[in-house]
Structure 1
Amino acid sequence: MKATELSIPGVWEFVPQQFPDDRGNFLVWYDAEAFVDALGFEMTVAQTNHSVSHQGVIRGVHWADVPVGQAKYVYCPRGALLDVVVDLRVGSPTFGQHEIVRLDTTEHRAIYLSEGLGHAFVSLEDDTVMTYICSARYAPTREHIVNVFDEELALPWPTDLTPILSDRDAKAPSLAEVKAAGRLPSYDECQRFYETLRAGEKPVLKS
């Protein structure tokens, strides 16, 4: 498995080796050893999620308070999607920038995004499936959201698709509003948290 850190620190792309034959295909979409080699620690698996989306569905931009945050390892076992990672860590050298990676059943790429990074995606086909590993369980009181159409973020959503959003995502606040409210994560605090992971400490979600 090939692992590459992208232009935003803390965003990693994993590309598995495939073994096709006359029966079909085989691949390993998550390899703990390859993950440790790339990031220096083993990912905690607290929850695994599975979503199915119609073409044009956009979900995001979501993130959770750090600590403990919620890192995600994202994979698309059916259909195709554009996975979007936004750096929302105040003080980061890439604050406000984004990465977009196509996840599909051709390359079978997977994306890891560290705690404190915002996550969104758009489904490019009907019945697209996203499966993702989460480092922490969903905690509604720690979860935050910013509008996917915020002009400051200027995310390049496909113009040939009719966007479908939940009411919550459609009514999400702007980046400026969330920043003014003090809800964005701190880059320095995120870096300190990443160090605890590399040191082998297990994050604990406190009530």
Structure 2
Amino acid sequence: MQIEKTPLKDCFIIKPQVFRDNRGIFLESYHKKKFNRLTGLDTEFVQDNQSVSSYGVLRGMHFQKGEFAQSKLVRVIHGKVLDVVIDLRPDSPTFKKHFKVVLDDENLQQLYVPKGFAHGFLTLSETSVFAYKCDQYYYPGSEQGIIYNDPELNIDWDFPEDKLILSEKDRVQPGFKELFE
């Protein structure tokens, strides 16, 4: 396992060691002791989630607030996504900045998303199977979101907006200013 810093404080790309041969591949997708040692974090994941999406589905930008804020370790089991995170921690030097990375079943990279970040992804393949570990249980009363196309954040999804497939909830999320100013 290798850890690569991103431009956002406390957000990491995790590169597993992948063993390939004529039978296929094998990788260790998570090892708590290695993860904690290499990141300097002490994260205890308590819930695993998985979603299946078709081409053009955008899920995000989601987060949980307060005592139910979640750190996540996300990865793509099948397909390809553009994964985007936004630092929403007012005291962070990277507050209001975003980072995006392509995660797929070829590069097998993972992204560690710390508490205080919004997270979302766009499926770029015919389908995607997206998995994520959370260090806090889902709590509906703590759920929050930011509109994916907020002009204040200026996220370039590099995808035709009229081709995006969104849930009604994601279509009407509040803007950054409504939540933080």
> What amino acid sits opposite 2:167 in the alignment?
S
Deviations 1:49-68 (A, max 9, x none): 00000111111111111334
Q: Which has the higher strand share?
A: 2
Native 8 Å contact 1:66 1:115 kept in 2: no
Instruction: Normalising by structure 1, report the TM-score.
Output: 0.83
**1:159-204 CA distance string (max 9 Å, x none):** 3471111000000111001114xxxxxxxxxxxxxxxxxxxxxxxx
Query: Are the counterparts in 1 of residues 71 and 115 from structure 2 also a CA contact under 8 Å?
Result: yes
The count of residues paired between Structure 1 and Structure 2 equals 180
TM-score (norm 2): 0.94
Q: Which runs of 4+ in 1 moved over 6 A?
A: none
Three-state SS of the structure 1 residue aligned to 2:85 is: strand
Residues 67-117 of structure 1: CA deviation (Å, up to 9, x unaligned): 341110001010000110101111322111111111101110000011111
Question: Where does residue 36 of structure 2 map in the other structure?
Answer: 36
Give distance in 1, aligned partners of 2:35 and 2:119: 20
Q: What secondary structure, in the 3-state scheme, does the structure 2 residue paired with 1:26 have?
A: strand
- Please list every run of 5 or more consecutive structure 1 residues that lacks an aligned counterpart in the other structure: 181-207
> Which one is further off, 72-81 or 2-11?
2-11
Structure 2 gap segments, 5+ residues each: none
Q: CA RMSD in A?
A: 1.3
Structure-1 separation of matches of 2:102 and 2:48: 21
Q: How does 1:1-207 map to 2 (within 5 A)?
A: 1-160=1-160, 162-180=163-181
Equivalent residues of 2:80, 2:103 under 8 A apart = yes
Amino acid at match of 1:75: R
Secondary structure at the aligned position of 1:25 is classed as strand
Check whether the contact 2:79–2:105 (CA below 8 A) recurs between aligned residues. yes
Distance 2:44 2:92 in 1: 24
Q: Which has the larger radius of gyration?
A: 1
